[in-house]
Amino acid sequence: MSEFRTKSLLLVLLAISLLVGLTQCHSDDDDAGDDAAGPGDDDDNDNDDNDDAGDDDAGDGTLKFPDGFLFGAATSGFQIEMGCPSLSPDECTDSHSDWYEFVTSPATVDDPLAFVVGGDPATVGPGHYELYEADLDRAADELKHNGFRLGLEWSRIFPTSTIGVTGHENLLAVADAAAVAHYHQVFAALRERGLKPLVTLNHYTLPRWIHDGVGCHVDFKNCSPRGWVDQDVTVAEIAKYAGFVAREYGDEVDLWATLNEPLAVVLPGYLYPSDSRSNPPALFLRFNEFKTVMAAMIEGHARMVDAVRANDTVDADGDGVNNQVGVVYAMSPAVPKDPDSELDRQAAENVFYLWNMVFLNAVALGRFDENLDGQTVYREDLAHRLDFVGLNYYARITVSGLPFSLLPWLSPLMTFNPITMRIDEIYPRGIYEMAVLINEKLGVPVYITENNGRSDPADNWAKEKRYLVENLSWLWYAIEQGADVRGYFYWSLIDNYEWNQGMKQYGLYEVDPLTKARTARDIVAEYRAIAECLYLGNMSP
């Protein structure tokens, strides 16, 4: 049996044993968590002489994640804030973003080529803007988490233009005071509950004063403003916003992510929108705009990093570091459909490069590939703008090759058909592969900022529990092998508004669409045991 198959089998068996062992972390008393070993405790069952798994394996089946490892859940502002049960719409609803207009305007809702297919207005969301304290109670008390990923909404903080406005006090004067105060209250609530925030500064949405997403969908030639296509303006303003936020909340936050999944803006926004994913302005085959926006988001990330580093000068958590700034990026292994086919192998390499590495190579190593052809130039102003990668991991890509580029106007490396690629293969080992690759190729640590196995919300949640444990088993194995992985955030804490698809059931907690009541799904008990027991290293399967 090959080393790969041997290790895969061992990890699967380990995951199965953990599913059984999770029930043994507590006594029959549901409150027995108080008796669990603390982060610095030793269960005295280590057998160092016979321990082949390293210091983090207690020798009895225990998987001890490192001290300080963050377990949490991930959220984004637009997806969970709206839909408040009692706050006025003026206070709860963020009507100033391109995404809000995109999912409410008849010009896009009634246009099948915009793919607003969910049938739900954003105002049916779970109302986290009002209910955040109870949701954070669930994260801290019921899930035993010590971290929480959240997003700030640029359009809430600055519903009107900041073009021409400079200086923190002047920006504060044009900011929405209630929104600024609200996020201070959220950070205070996180601190009270022992939840370390990882803050996403921009999770797709842009203010309408910088992007007319509907107008650009209807008439791109004559629309204005054009968001990331107006590269100079948008880069300057998003960096200004990042610097303002870093100064305003720097004594409450140390972990910052600039952007969430840049390709999820570029691909469905300017190349191929679809039912499964659309993004304003939802245009087809705009090759020049695709490249422009990709370059703009690379530049925007770098300037946001500079702004955060310059303005967050306070060590919020006392670890001696004022700030760490990364990007949240969805990465996937890519494999040939036929491993014996040279075309398929080359196609897999090309997919892997275009999907995973173009952006990350630029902001970590300064290798900028403007033409998406594999040829790079070094740019000092982009290099070393990455303190960590927030890895969103879901699935593996399987690809068949072509003897030519399907879209040579976009890239000579498009030697595959993206429409026929399989992009949803559940492959838990991939989380290990991507974490190790980030460490080795980019030289930065990793936080898992999103992960789940629910490609279809109708999937059985029992399957999801197994997938959670398999992923964490591979993640532990990566750490045991020396990978620098510092946290895991499950997507998502609560059911959320899944962009053009409307409300979806991806949450650890189900949300009643009418009452907004939260109900824990079965997976909550499993994840609590992992956060409370794997993290503490006292599980005995």
CA dist list (Å): 426 to 182, 396, 398, 416, 431: 38, 7, 11, 21, 11
Could you confirm whether 237 is annotated as catalytic? no
Of the candidates 130, 450, 464, 526, the residue annotated as catalytic is: 450
**Contact criterion met (CB below 8 Å) for 508 and 524:** yes
Tally Cβ neighbours within 10 Å of residue 378: 11
Tally Cβ neighbours within 10 Å of residue 107: 15
Residue 207 has φ and ψ, to the nearest 5°, of -60, 150
**Contact criterion met (CB below 8 Å) for 108 and 217:** yes
Of the candidates 81, 261, 289, 532, the residue annotated as catalytic is: 261
Q: Which two tokens stand for residue 72?
A: 């949490």
For the CA atoms of 313, 319, 320, 325, the dihedral, rounded to the nearest 10 degrees, stands at -50
CA–CA separation, 329 vs 451, rounded Å?
A: 12
List helix spans (H) across 400-441: 429-437
Q: How deeply is 416 buried, as exposed, middle or buried, from its count of CB atoms within 10 A (0-12, 13-18, 19+)?
A: buried
**Contact criterion met (CB below 8 Å) for 155 and 110:** no
CA–CA separation, 295 vs 249, rounded Å?
A: 28
Could you confirm whether 440 is annotated as catalytic? no
Residues 6+ apart with CB under 8 A from 345: 336, 339, 401
CA–CA separation, 393 vs 485, rounded Å?
A: 13
Annotated active-site positions, please? Answer: 261, 450
